[in-house]
């Protein structure tokens, strides 16, 4: 017996279907009413920002409207540090390599000459943060030099689970911004493919992206380190060379997005604090067709950290280009949950 035609009715009623050899089959109905009325972003306050996000996502995924975006083009990209999880007191990618870097510098002292590595080794986290994505990449390149991709990957999650955030009192793997996780889920439900495009090395982010953000490893972009194919005991392995292949920050982010996906993203999220995301937000805005950009503003000293760029570069760009500024204080009910 085979079904010759199946038509499901989604309008709240049911009707008979005609199937060969089986005269009495009825459609199974699930009412969609309940879904439409639920709040898609319950951890966001009912502000203009939230309403604009929900309206854009609804229009982008509603066929027939002027702002409809075909499914294949429905691409969202988020920065990670400062956008999906805190970047203070230091970017979380640095945590799993703290032990390795000491051992590697002991073996090869020249690695310790890089300013960020030297600052880290003397416990000067302020300088590490000030050196930005560049310094972070130097640290991770020094820590992974000579190791295989698989050796490094295996270490990330266990080290991060052991480290407890002083500010939030939870392991670093639990420091996701909860409202952003909600937004990612809303985008996925609305047919978006969601990527991370981060300054943190992809070797790190990929190991925690599914657990922390619901984004699978193959949808993660980041700074990358050079690798070289070699053999260990007759088995092919990729070995880190200690060199940075591409620094995925500022103007480097559109380059990576184009390389990985070949399309301009429709929805982009970044944060103020390091000027890092404006280039990819502009590149999204300049696509043919609708787009939407959010810039997270770190204005909540009590519940997170308050910091800003001295020249207000990112907030000024948001005004100039029409990016939506998310105030952690005003827009989010909760930031990092217990």
Q: Is 315 exposed, middle or buried (0-12, 13-18, 19+ CB in 10 A)?
A: middle
Contact between 18 and its own copies by CB under 8 A: the answer reads no
Stretch that binds its own copies, among 57-65, 130-138, 234-242, 291-299 (CB under 8 A): 234-242
**Least distance in Å: CB of 251 to its own copies?**
4
Q: Which of 113, 154, 259, 301 binds its own copies (CB under 8 A)?
A: 259
- What values do phi and psi take at 229, rounded to 5? -75, 130
CB 89 within 8 A of CB 81: no
Q: What are 54's strand-pairing partners?
A: none
**Least distance in Å: CB of 51 to its own copies?**
28
Identify which of residues 179 and 254 has a Cβ nearer to its own copies in the complex: 254
Contact between 251 and its own copies by CB under 8 A: the answer reads yes
**Least distance in Å: CB of 91 to its own copies?**
19
**Interface pattern 145-184 for its own copies (x via CB under 8 A):** ----x---x-------------------------------
The tokens of 222 are what? 């980041």
The Cβ of residue 152 has, within 10 Å, a number of other Cβ atoms equal to 23
Query: What radius of gyration, in Å, describes the C-alpha atoms of the chain?
Result: 23
Q: What are 98's strand-pairing partners?
A: none
Identify which of residues 49 and 293 has a Cβ nearer to its own copies in the complex: 293
Contact between 320 and its own copies by CB under 8 A: the answer reads no
Contact between 283 and its own copies by CB under 8 A: the answer reads yes
What string of DSSP letters covers 267-289? EEEEETTSS-SHHHHHHHHTSSS
Give dist(CA 171, CA 132) in Å, integer.
Answer: 23
The tokens of 252 are what? 């480097």
Q: Which of 53, 187, 279, 325 binds its own copies (CB under 8 A)?
A: 279
Give dist(CA 56, CA 234) in Å, integer.
Answer: 54
Stretch that binds its own copies, among 40-48, 83-91, 169-177, 230-238 (CB under 8 A): 230-238
Q: Is 135 helix (H, G, I), strand (E, B) or coil?
A: helix
- List residues binding its own copies (CB under 8 A): 1-3, 6, 12, 14, 17, 19, 22, 24-26, 28-31, 34, 72, 149, 153, 193, 202-203, 206, 216-218, 220, 224, 227-229, 235-238, 245, 251, 254-255, 258-263, 279, 282-283, 286
């Amino acid at each position: 017996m085979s079904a010759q035609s199946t038509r499901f009715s989604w309008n709240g009623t049911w009707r008979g279907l005609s199937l060969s050899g089986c005269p009495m089959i009825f459609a199974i109905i699930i009412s969609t009413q309940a879904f439409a009325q639920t709040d898609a972003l319950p951890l966001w306050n009912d502000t203009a920002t939230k309403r604009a996000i929900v309206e854009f996502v609804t229009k982008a995924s509603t066929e027939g409207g002027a702002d409809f975006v075909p499914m294949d083009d429905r691409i969202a990209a988020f920065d990670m540090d400062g956008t999906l999880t805190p970047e203070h007191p230091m970017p979380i990618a640095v945590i799993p390599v703290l032990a390795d870097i000491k051992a590697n510098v002991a073996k090869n002292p020249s690695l310790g000459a890089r300013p960020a590595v030297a600052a880290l080794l003397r416990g000067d986290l302020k300088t590490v943060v000030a050196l930005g994505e560049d310094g972070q990449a130097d640290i991770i390149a020094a820590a992974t030099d000579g190791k295989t991709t698989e050796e490094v990957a295996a270490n990330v999650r266990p080290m991060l689970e052991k480290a407890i955030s002083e500010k939030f009192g939870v392991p670093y793997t639990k420091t996701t911004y909860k409202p952003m996780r909600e937004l990612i889920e809303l985008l996925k439900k609305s047919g978006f493919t969601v990527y991370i495009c981060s300054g943190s090395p992809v070797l790190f982010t990929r190991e925690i992206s599914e657990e922390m953000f619901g984004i699978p490893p193959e949808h993660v972009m980041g700074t990358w380190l050079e690798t070289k194919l070699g053999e260990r005991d007759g088995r092919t392995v990729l070995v880190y060379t200690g060199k940075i292949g591409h620094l995925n920050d500022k103007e480097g982010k559109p380059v990576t997005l184009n390389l990985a996906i070949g399309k301009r993203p429709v929805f982009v999220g970044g944060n103020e604090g390091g000027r890092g995301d404006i280039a990819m937000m502009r590149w999204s805005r300049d696509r043919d067709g609708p787009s939407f950009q959010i810039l997270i503003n770190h204005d909540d000293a009590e519940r997170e950290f308050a910091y800003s760029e001295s020249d207000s570069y990112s907030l000024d760009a948001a005004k100039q280009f029409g990016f939506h500024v998310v105030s952690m204080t005003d827009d989010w009910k909760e930031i990092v949950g217990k």
